[in-house]
Amino acid sequence: MFLSIDSISNESLENKKKVDDETLRLKARSKEDIEDILQTFEAISQKEIEPASMRPTFFEWNIWRAMTMINHGKVKGNFTVDDSGMPISTAGGGKSDIIGDYGKFNIGIEVTLSTGQKQFEMEGEPVSRHIGEMQVEKPTFGIFIADSLNETVINHFYTLSHQKSKIYNG
């Protein structure tokens, strides 16, 4: 079976509508949603999400839900959702996992469950580049969220935050 461009477009619009509806619901800050977000973080931390390959996807999605709930900006997750609005994959490369638009500035949120030296190898350069690319548009603050932080990552981001660099636009 082949899908026409129109049916793909409609499917994307339906998925976007589900995410928009979820955004509105989260902005209401219901006790049930807060509890669900906290329980999802606990399930991720306790490695209860199966298959294990979906933990990073749910971590990213759950961070988006929390940021959407507590922030007044326009928060957009770059992950992919299915027809019911549930996450099916993490954000693709080339931009921050989650972007918050606050009018005069942006927040680029990068999320990972990687640990140790692998965390630096996987996240050090891309996170810096994504935030730098956003700096071209307007001032941007980067938030890096992980279950635990590698000391090399801490040092790398701290050093970058204290020096001007043409490479990272700020």
Q: Model pTM?
A: 0.86
DSSP string, 32-73: HHHHHHHHHHHHHHTT-SSSGGGHHHHHHHHHHHHHHHH-SS
Tens digit of each residue's pLDDT (9 = 90 or more) over 25-37? 999 999 999 999 9
pLDDT tier at 51 (50, 70, 90 boundaries)? very high
Average pLDDT of the residues of the chain:
87
Say which CATH architecture domain 8-161 belongs to: 3-Layer(aba) Sandwich (3.40)
d(C-alpha 97, C-alpha 19), whole Å: 15
Tens digit of each residue's pLDDT (9 = 90 or more) over 8-24? 445 578 888 888 999 99
Displacement of CA 136 from its chain's centroid (Å): 20
CB neighbour list of residue 55: distance below 8 Å, 6 or more residues apart: 44, 47, 49, 113
d(C-alpha 64, C-alpha 19), whole Å: 11
- Domain limits of the chain? 8-161
Q: Given this model, what pLDDT does residue 138 score? A: 92
pLDDT tier at 4 (50, 70, 90 boundaries)? very low
d(C-alpha 67, C-alpha 76), whole Å: 9
Whose structure tokens read 């933990």?
Answer: 55
pLDDT tier at 169 (50, 70, 90 boundaries)? low
Tens digit of each residue's pLDDT (9 = 90 or more) over 120-157? 999 988 898 899 899 889 999 999 999 899 999 999 98
